[in-house]
Structure 1
Amino acid sequence: MSTAGIGLGLTGFGVFFSFLGIILFFDKGLLAIGNILFISGVIMTIGIKSSLQFFMKPSNFKGTISFGIGFFFVIIGWPVIGMAAEAYGSLILFSGFWPTLSVFVQKTPVIGWVFQQPFIRSFLGYRGKRAPV
């Protein structure tokens, strides 16, 4: 198994532990483990150099700082404030991936049908056009 495959697994487990931490009333231990797994998974998936370039890009710097502050708040025991800051940072950091994710979800067999409905497409900003491929 390659490091990219291991990285995708770590990223998936990170998202799972973060979700579980939120479901269990913002359990700071699960949230911290989820954050560590997610970050290490991203680093293993795209590599150390590419990760540093991504997180230190001037357009992503606000998101990186916000995610880091949120991670700090989770560690010191303020998980609600930390997760809010991390959510904002994640939206800033990964906003460039939304069109790609939207196309992927629209091509998924069962869920794709829902996202191809006119109301959902207009809500996502496609205004009746086909999603960019």
Structure 2
Amino acid sequence: MAAFPFELVAPNKVLFSGPARAVVIPGYEGDFQVLTDHAPTVAAVRPGVVAIDDANGRHLRVFVRGGFADVNPLGLTILAETAIPFEDLNVAHLDEEIKNAEEDVADASDELKQAAQEKLDRLREIRDSMKLG
């Protein structure tokens, strides 16, 4: 399978930069997979896990709290609000993210409350799945 250039960038660091064979992105319209020659797309990213199959056959997972994905002829870039390698993620850290999201819901205007609540619900789902696993 052919590879394409991919970068996953958070405000404080670049978590991945290099060729990827496939990337699964948790989009607000649903999860979607990017492969070589994907149609140009810009999508909002919801809290979830970005799954990366790199050009060397390694499978990597990175938790993102949200952001944007841009697919274009030059490759894929994800600009994440927060990004944490899955192996560094733990329930305590997710609890902190949930606390921040609860504050976001409490402070949100009526127009933004539903989106803030959806983000909070998704974070709780991820935390609960980690407790089961």
Instruction: Please give the TM-score of this superposition, normalised by the length of structure 1.
Output: 0.27
- Structure with the larger helix share: 1
- Structure with the larger strand share: 2
Higher relative contact order (CA 8 A, sep 6+): 2
Q: Higher Cα Rg: structure 1 or 2?
A: 1
